Amino acid sequence: MAEKNPYELDFEKYIRNTEPAKKDKTYAWTTAIGLQQVDGLTPSKYLFDTAKRNIEGEITFDEAKSLIDTYYESKTERLDTSEERTEEADKVASRIAQIISEKSFNFSPSHLIAIHGRLFEGIFKFAGKLRDYDISKREWVLDGDTVMYGAAFELKMALDYDFEQERNFNYKNLSIEEIVKHITFFVSRLWQIHAFGEGNTRTTAVFTIKYLRSLGFNVNNDIFAENSWYFRNALVRANYNNLQKGIQENPEFLERFFRNLLMGEHNELKNRYCHIKYSKQAEKKVTQKVTVNVTVKFTANQKKILEEIKKNQFVTQEELAEIIGITRKSINENMKKLQSMNIIERVGADKNGYWKISEL
pLDDT tens string 124-165: 999 999 999 999 999 989 999 999 999 999 999 999 999 999
Question: Which residue segment(s) compose the domain that 58 sits in?
Answer: 1-102
**136 and 98 co-located in one domain:** no
What is the CATH classification number for the domain harbouring 302? 1.10.10.10
Is residue 249 in a domain? yes
d(C-alpha 115, C-alpha 290), whole Å: 46
**256 and 231 co-located in one domain:** yes
Domain-terminating residue out of 278, 303, 328: 278
Domain-terminating residue out of 230, 254, 278: 278
Is residue 120 in a domain? no
| Choice between 77 and 49, residue whose per-residue pLDDT is larger | 49
The two beta strands, 354-357 and 344-347, are antiparallel
**268 and 129 co-located in one domain:** yes
DSSP secondary structure of 7-74: TTHHHHHHHHHS-HHHHHHHHHHHHHHHGGGGGT----HHHHHHHHHHHTTSS-HHHHHHHHHHHHHT
**286 and 255 co-located in one domain:** no
CA geometry: angle 325, 327, 329, nearest 5 deg: 145
Is residue 169 in a domain? yes
Number of domains in the chain: 3
**211 and 75 co-located in one domain:** no
**2 and 94 co-located in one domain:** yes
At residue 245, φ and ψ (nearest 5 deg) are: -100, 5
pLDDT digit string, tens, across residues 216-249: 998 877 888 889 999 999 999 999 999 999 999 9
% of the chain surpassing 90 pLDDT:
62
**229 and 133 co-located in one domain:** yes
**208 and 160 co-located in one domain:** yes
